């Protein structure tokens, strides 16, 4: 059984709960992460969440999102999910910014996370796990930022906000 780490606003651990029981209209605050994977062409690997996902099904988002298990670092969790969802291993991941969000999807199911923003670089072609990812594509960073502005409803709300943070940090290959 997969567990998520429940926390308070200061990211102090309060306990754990089965992931399947956490996401609802009253989702408690818990730890997560968001990873943005770039290639050497300055393209971002974006993914469309599987239509069977409990929260934000079928929505385009950043490369990988997930939850660290109790006692697991966000970097280790991101590497685990990157392998599980896209078959990508051996990348160096770094945390670039803290982030906190709460969003409800069209069904009222809430994501409520302390969710550091992570960045990594790789040219590896994904081997997609269809249970997690419906589609994927590489997109030029500038085209991605433009798409977020032109069609924001197509992308997850956390992805839109996190992309703006990454852009302000000027960290792409910097």
Report all structural domains of the chain as residue ranges with CATH numbers, in order of start: 3-169 (3.90.79.10)
What's the confidence (pLDDT) of residue 87? Answer: 98
Higher pLDDT, 107 or 152: 152
- Supply the pLDDT for residue 173: 52
pLDDT value at residue 16? 98
* Mean pLDDT across 128-139: 96
Residue 174 has what pLDDT?
45
Cβ contact 160:172 at 8 Å: no
pTM for this predicted structure: 0.94
Lowest-pLDDT range, 63-67, 72-76, 132-136, 170-174? 170-174
| 78-98: average pLDDT | 97
Which residues are the active-site residues? 65, 113
Mean local confidence (pLDDT), 49-67:
92
* 56 confidence band (pLDDT: 50, 70, 90): confident
Of 29 and 106, the structure prediction assigns the larger pLDDT to 29
Which residues, at least 6 apart from 148, have a Cβ–Cβ distance to it below 8 Å?
155, 159, 160, 163
* Mean pLDDT confidence for 105-118: 93
pLDDT value for 55: 84
pLDDT confidence of residue 170: 81
pLDDT (mean) for 46-71: 93
Over pLDDT 90: what percentage of the chain?
88
């Amino acid at each position: 059984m997969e567990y998520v780490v429940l926390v308070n606003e200061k990211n102090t651990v309060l306990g754990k709960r089965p992931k399947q029981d956490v996401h609802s209209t009253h989702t408690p605050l818990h730890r997560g992460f968001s990873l943005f994977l770039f290639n050497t062409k300055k393209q971002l690997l974006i993914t469309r969440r599987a239509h069977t996902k409990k929260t934000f099904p079928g929505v385009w988002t950043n490369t990988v999102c997930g939850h660290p298990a109790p006692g697991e670092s966000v970097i280790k969790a991101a590497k685990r999910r990157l392998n599980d969802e896209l078959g990508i291993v051996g990348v160096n991941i770094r945390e670039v910014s803290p982030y906190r969000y709460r969003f409800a999807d069209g069904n009222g199911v809430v994501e409520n996370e302390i969710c550091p923003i992570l960045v990594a670089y790789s040219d590896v072609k994904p081997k997609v796990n269809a249970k997690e990812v419906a589609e994927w594509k590489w997109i030029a960073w500038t085209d991605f930022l433009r798409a977020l502005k032109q069609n924001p409803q197509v992308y997850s709300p956390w992805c839109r906000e996190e992309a703006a943070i990454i852009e302000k940090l000027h960290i792409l290959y910097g």
